[in-house]
A and B are shown apart, each in its own frame.
Chain A
Amino acid sequence: MSGILSIMLIVPLAAALACLFVNANQARWIALGATLIDLALGGVLWANFEIGGPQWQFVEYTPVFGRFAWALGIDGFALLLILLSVFLMPICIGASWEAITERVPEYMAAFLITEVLMIGTFAAQDIFLFYMFFEAGLIPMFLIIGIWGGANRIYASYKFFLYTLLGSLLMLIAMMYMSITAGTTSIPELMAYDFPPQVQTWLWLAFFASFAVKMPMWPVHTWLPDAHVQAPTAGSVILAGVLLKLGGYGFLRFSLPMFPEASAQLIWLVFGLSCIAVVVTSLIALVQSDMKKLIAYSSVAHMAIVTIGLFTFNRQGIEGAMMVMLGHGLVSGALFLCVGVIYDRLHTREISRYGGLAVNMPKYAVLFLLFTMASVGLPGTSNFVGEFLALMGAYQVSTWATLIATTGIILGAAYMLYLYRRVVFGDLVKDDVKAMPDLSKREMALLAPLAAVTLWMGVYPESFLAPMRNDVATLLARLERAKPAGDSLLTPGNPVAPAAHAQTADHGAAH
Chain B
Amino acid sequence: MSAIHFIVFLPLLAAAVAGFSNRAFGTMLPKVVTTGALFVAAALSWPIFIGFMNGSAEPHVAQVFTWMRSGDLDVSWGLRVDSLTAVMLVVVTSVSSLVHLYSWSYMEEDPDQPRFFAYLSLFTFAMLMLVTADNLLQMFFGWEGVGLASYLLIGFWFKKPSASAAAIKAFVVNRVGDLGFMLGIFGVFLVFGTISIPEILEAAPGYAGSTIGFLGYRLDTLTVLCLLLFVGAMGKSAQLGLHTWLPDAMEGPTPVSALIHAATMVTAGVFMVCRLSPLFEQAPVALGFVTFIGAATCLFAATVGTTQTDIKRVIAYSTCSQLGYMFFAAGVGMYGAAMFHLFTHAFFKALLFLGAGSVIHAMHHEQDMRYYGGLRKHIPVTFWTMMAGTLAITGVGIYWLHAGFAGFHSKDAILEAAYAAGGAGQGAFWVGVFAALLTSFYSWRLMFLTFWGKPRWTQSEHIQHALHDSHHDEAHGHAVAHADNPPAQEDAGHTPHAHARGAHETADGTGGYHPHESPLPMMIPLLILSLGAVFAGFVFNKFFIQPESGEIFWKGAVAFNEHLAHAMHEVPLWVKLSASIVMLLGLAGAWVAYVWKPGIPARFTATFDLLYKFLLNKWYFDELYNALFVKPAFWFGRFFWKKGDEGTIDRFGPNGSAALVKLGSVASAKLQSGYVYSYAFVMLIGLTAAVTWVIAR
B387, CB-defined interface residue at 8 Å? no
Residue among B145, B168, B175 with most chain A CB within 10 A = B175
Q: With a CB–CB cut-off of 8 A, which chain A residues contact B638?
A: 287
Question: What class of interface size applies to chain B in its complex with A?
Answer: 35 or more
Residues of B610-660 contacting chain A, CB below 8 A = 633-634, 636-638, 640-641, 644-646, 649-650, 653-654, 657-658
Check A510 against B562 for contact (C-beta < 8 Å): yes
Interface residue from A359, A373, A496 paired with B148 (Cβ < 8 Å): A373
Check A316 against B70 for contact (C-beta < 8 Å): yes
Residues of B134-180 contacting chain A, CB below 8 A = 137, 140-141, 144-145, 148, 151, 155, 158-159, 161, 164-165, 167-168, 171-172, 175-176, 178-179
Instruction: Write the nearest CB–CB distance from A435 to chain B, whole angstroms.
Output: 18
Check B185 against A392 for contact (C-beta < 8 Å): yes
Check A406 against B67 for contact (C-beta < 8 Å): no
Check A426 against B71 for contact (C-beta < 8 Å): no
State the CA gap A494–B148 with chains docked (Å): 44
State the CA gap A222–B640 with chains docked (Å): 12
Residues of B543-562 contacting chain A, CB below 8 A = 551, 555-556, 559-562
State the CA gap A191–B215 with chains docked (Å): 35
List the A residue with the shortest CB-CB distance to B65: A460
| Residue interface bits A284-296, CB-to-B below 8 A is 1, else 0 | 1111100000000
Residues of B170-213 contacting chain A, CB below 8 A = 171-172, 175-176, 178-179, 182-183, 185-187, 189-191, 205-213
State the CA gap A125–B67 with chains docked (Å): 33
State the CA gap A407–B641 with chains docked (Å): 19
B282, CB-defined interface residue at 8 Å? yes
Q: A417 and B145 in contact (CB under 8 A), knowing A395-B187, A462-B69?
A: no
Check A287 against B637 for contact (C-beta < 8 Å): yes
State the CA gap A399–B228 with chains docked (Å): 13
Instruction: Write the nearest CB–CB distance from A239 to chain B, whole angstroms.
Output: 17
| Stretch from A192-200, A246-254, A267-275, A377-385 forming part of the interface with B | A377-385
Q: With a CB–CB cut-off of 8 A, which chain B residues contact A378?
A: 144-145, 148
Interface residue from B155, B206, B207, B637 paired with A284 (Cβ < 8 Å): B637
Check B158 against A358 for contact (C-beta < 8 Å): yes
State the CA gap A491–B179 with chains docked (Å): 25
Q: A425 and B155 in contact (CB under 8 A), knowing A316-B70, A510-B551?
A: yes
Q: With a CB–CB cut-off of 8 A, which chain A residues contact B634?
A: 286-287
State the CA gap A320–B571 with chains docked (Å): 54
State the CA gap A462–B560 with chains docked (Å): 38
B221, CB-defined interface residue at 8 Å? yes
Q: With a CB–CB cut-off of 8 A, which chain B residues contact A384?
A: 144
Instruction: Write the nearest CB–CB distance from B52 to chain A, whole angstroms.
Output: 15
Check B67 against A459 for contact (C-beta < 8 Å): yes
Interface residue from B207, B211, B637 paired with A283 (Cβ < 8 Å): B637
B679, CB-defined interface residue at 8 Å? no
* A-B Cβ contacts below 8 A, count: 206
State the CA gap A460–B77 with chains docked (Å): 10
State the CA gap A511–B557 with chains docked (Å): 11
Q: A222 and B164 in contact (CB under 8 A), knowing A497-B205, A501-B208?
A: no
Q: With a CB–CB cut-off of 8 A, which chain B residues contact A504?
A: 205, 278, 281-282
Interface residue from A286, A409, A460 paired with B175 (Cβ < 8 Å): A409
Instruction: Write the nearest CB–CB distance from A479 to chain B, whole angstroms.
Output: 14
Q: With a CB–CB cut-off of 8 A, which chain A residues contact B560?
A: 507
Q: With a CB–CB cut-off of 8 A, which chain B residues contact A359?
A: 159
Check A283 against B71 for contact (C-beta < 8 Å): no
B28, CB-defined interface residue at 8 Å? no
State the CA gap A414–B282 with chains docked (Å): 36
Residues of A202-221 contacting chain B, CB below 8 A = 219-220
State the CA gap A52–B140 with chains docked (Å): 31
A344, CB-defined interface residue at 8 Å? no
Residues of B266-307 contacting chain A, CB below 8 A = 278, 281-282
Q: Which 7 A-B pairs have the closest CB atoms?
A: A493-B209, A493-B210, A395-B186, A497-B208, A287-B637, A315-B71, A283-B637
Residue contacts A-B, CB under 8 angstroms, 23 given: A163-B654, A222-B654, A225-B645, A284-B641, A284-B645, A316-B70, A379-B144, A389-B68, A389-B70, A392-B185, A409-B175, A413-B171, A414-B168, A414-B172, A424-B158, A459-B67, A461-B68, A462-B69, A488-B214, A490-B211, A490-B212, A504-B281, A504-B282
